[in-house]
Amino acid sequence: MVHMRHVRAARYCARGMRQWFEFHGLDVADFLKNGIPVEKFEATGDAMALRVAEIARKEAEDGR
């Protein structure tokens, strides 16, 4: 799962993230509350999303 901490770890701002979610038709409120499956993030094909997904996957691999 991708959470806001992963967005912050990638050094992206919350304001830009909200705009990105709107652009991709994703529910930012649900993301902030529950996270979003990493596969859904990756499916956008967006370079920013791929970076954030990579951070989330690395965290999961490290057992955090």
Condensed to tens digits (0 to 9), the pLDDT of residues 14-45 reads 888 889 999 999 999 999 999 999 999 999 99
Task: Answer left, alpha or beta for residue 12, where phi above 0 means left and psi between -120 and 50 means alpha.
Answer: beta
* Mean pLDDT (whole number) for 1-12: 95
pLDDT number for residue 15 = 85
Handedness of CA 39, 60, 32, 35 (dihedral sign): positive
pTM check: above 0.95: no
Instruction: Give the dihedral sign, CA 44/19/23/33.
Output: positive
